[in-house]
């Protein structure tokens, strides 16, 4: 499977052509719009949200667990209802989205950097370095990410930094494998061998040839991995191994609201859940389209 993923990258196509082709898929275009919109909402949550849900002085227990559309004591209508602390759920979701996106992006970007560095280094250096790195990567790939993240999250304890560390450790190997595949294919080409022989070779080879060749497959893997980081984070938080209750991501909101499902107060858990699914699906559809465009043969 990794073989297929890392095989022959697409010829670099100008951005405009790429966009024109992308726009032809209406579903993917809509998904892209949703992704961008959600990212903006997450970034500007403090400005957009009607309430700061974590400023205790502005919460009122009298408004706890009110259904969507309830007119609160402060004269404000809770569009999506409130949680057990009397928090506006819409605001809580926006802040939760922010936490989820933040963690997904942080984990994805750090894993991308570390993975790409290892992958290109292995391809470039060859010899025992290549063997060592790629053996380690293969070993880790044979181990499911969720298990690794689970154990690490449990060992490191609760908190954002610990969670990101666990996610990075669980995911960098995918990037390393992909970068290595693309870079190694290029590395074996004759012109690289020739360029390496010149004194100016090394840096130029890495930055002008190897890295750019890795970029397209890495972008595809990155979209998939960011989506899966967000999902993994939610899962870990749900299992009680992620973030503390008082710093909730979407996953934590779902988990906090779940006890109220049986008694019919569905909104506390369902709305954060729908937001999470919307986010992950949008990213995945965009990622799918990008993959198809970058390489029609690239299929899972």
Partner 1 sequence: MLGFVVQRAFQAFVVMVVMSMIVFVGVYAVGNPVDIVIPPDATQAMRAEAIHRLGLDLPLWQQYGVFVWRLLHGDFGRSFVYNMPVLDLIGGRLPATLELVLISILFATGVGVSLGVYAGVRPSGLVAKSIMGLSILGFSVPSFWVGLILILTFAVSLGWLPAGGRGETVEVFGVPWSFLTLDGLGHIVLPALNLALFKMAMMIRLARAGTREAMLSDTVKFARAAGISEGTILRRHVLKLISIPIITVFGLELGSTVAFAVVTETIFSWPGIGKLIIDSIGVLDRPVMVAYLVLTALLFVMINFTVDLVFAAIDPRVRSGKTRT
Partner 2 sequence: MTFIKVIGAVALSLVLLGTAGTVGAQTLTVGVRGGPESMDPDYSALGTHAEVAKHIFDTLVRADENLQIKPGLATSWKPIDAETWEFKLRKGVKFHDGSDFTAEDVKFSIARVPIVTGPTSTAVYVRRVKSVEIVDPYTVRIHTDGPAPALPYDFVRLFIVSAKAAKDYSTPETAAEGFNSGKATIGTGPFKFVSWEPKGDLVLERFDGYWGGAAPWKRVIRKEIPNDASRLAALKAGQVDLVNDVSSADYLQLAKDPQVDTFVGDSIYIMNLLLDQRPDVMPDVMPGVRAKDGSPLPKNPLTDRRVRQAFSMAIDRKTMVDVVLEGLGKPAKEGMPAGFFGFDSAVPDPVYDPAKAKALLAKAGYPDGFQIDLYCTSDRLPGDAAICQGLGQMLSVIGIDVNVRATSKTVYFPAQSRGEYSVSMNGWGTLTGEASYTLSSQMHTKDPGKGLGAYNRIHYSNPDLDALIERGSVELDENKRRAIFEKAMAMATADRVLIPIVQLQTVWAARKGMLTFTPRTDQDTLAYYIKPKG
> Distance between CA atoms of 120 and 126, rounded to whole angstroms?
10
Asked if residue 19 binds partner 1 (CB under 8 A), the reply is: no
Of the candidate spans 78-86, 169-177, 193-201, 283-291, the one that interacts with partner 2 by CB under 8 A turns out to be 78-86
Of the candidate spans 38-46, 97-105, 211-219, 258-266, the one that interacts with partner 1 by CB under 8 A turns out to be 258-266
Tokens matching residue 233: 């984070």
Distance separating the N- and C-terminal Cα atoms of the chain: 7
Among 43, 105, 146, 206, binds partner 1 (CB under 8 A): 146
Among 35, 45, 273, 275, binds partner 1 (CB under 8 A): 273
- The alpha-helical segments, DSSP class H, found in the chain are 2-6, 15-24, 26-43, 45-48, 89-125, 127-141, 145-156, 160-187, 190-197, 201-204, 211-238, 250-257, 267-294
Helix (H) / strand (E) element for 77: namely strand 77-78
288 binds, among partner 2, partner 1, none (CB under 5 to 8 A by kind): partner 1
57 binds, among partner 1, partner 2, none (CB under 5 to 8 A by kind): partner 2
Among 84, 209, 219, 266, binds partner 2 (CB under 8 A): 84
| Neighbouring C-beta atoms of residue 6, cutoff 10 Å | 22
* Cβ neighbours of residue 46 closer than 8 Å, sequence gap 6 or more: 52, 95
Smallest separation, CB 27 to partner 1 (Å): 9
Q: Which residues bind partner 2 (CB under 8 A)?
A: 56-57, 59-62, 64, 84-86, 157-158, 240, 244-246, 258-265
């Amino acid at each position: 499977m990794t073989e297929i993923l890392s095989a022959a990258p697409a010829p670099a196509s100008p951005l405009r052509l790429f966009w024109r082709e992308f726009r032809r898929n209406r579903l993917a275009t809509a998904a892209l719009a949703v992704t961008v919109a959600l990212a903006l909402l997450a970034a500007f949550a403090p400005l957009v949200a009607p309430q700061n849900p974590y400023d205790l002085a502005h919460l009122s227990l009298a408004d706890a667990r009110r259904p969507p559309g309830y007119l609160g004591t402060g004269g404000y209508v809770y569009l999506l209802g409130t949680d057990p602390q009397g928090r506006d759920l819409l605001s809580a979701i926006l802040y939760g989205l922010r936490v989820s996106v933040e963690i997904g992006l942080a984990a994805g970007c750090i894993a991308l950097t570390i993975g790409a560095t290892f992958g290109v280094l292995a391809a470039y250096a060859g010899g025992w370095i290549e063997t060592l790195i790629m053996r380690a990567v293969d070993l880790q790939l044979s181990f499911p990410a969720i298990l690794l993240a689970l154990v690490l999250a449990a060992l490191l304890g609760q908190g954002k930094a610990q969670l990101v560390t666990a996610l990075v450790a669980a995911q960098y190997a995918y990037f390393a494998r992909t970068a290595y595949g693309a870079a190694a294919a290029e590395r074996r080409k004759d012109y690289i061998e020739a360029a390496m022989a010149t004194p100016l070779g090394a840096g130029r080879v890495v930055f002008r040839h190897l890295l750019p060749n890795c970029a397209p497959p890495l972008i595809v893997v990155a979209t998939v991995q960011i989506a899966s980081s967000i999902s993994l984070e939610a899962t870990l938080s749900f299992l009680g191994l992620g973030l503390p209750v008082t710093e909730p991501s979407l996953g934590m909101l779902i988990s906090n609201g779940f006890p109220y499902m049986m008694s019919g107060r569905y909104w506390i858990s369902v709305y954060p859940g729908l937001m999470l699914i919307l986010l992950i699906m949008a990213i995945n559809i965009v990622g799918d389209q990008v993959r198809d465009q970058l390489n029609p043969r690239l299929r899972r």
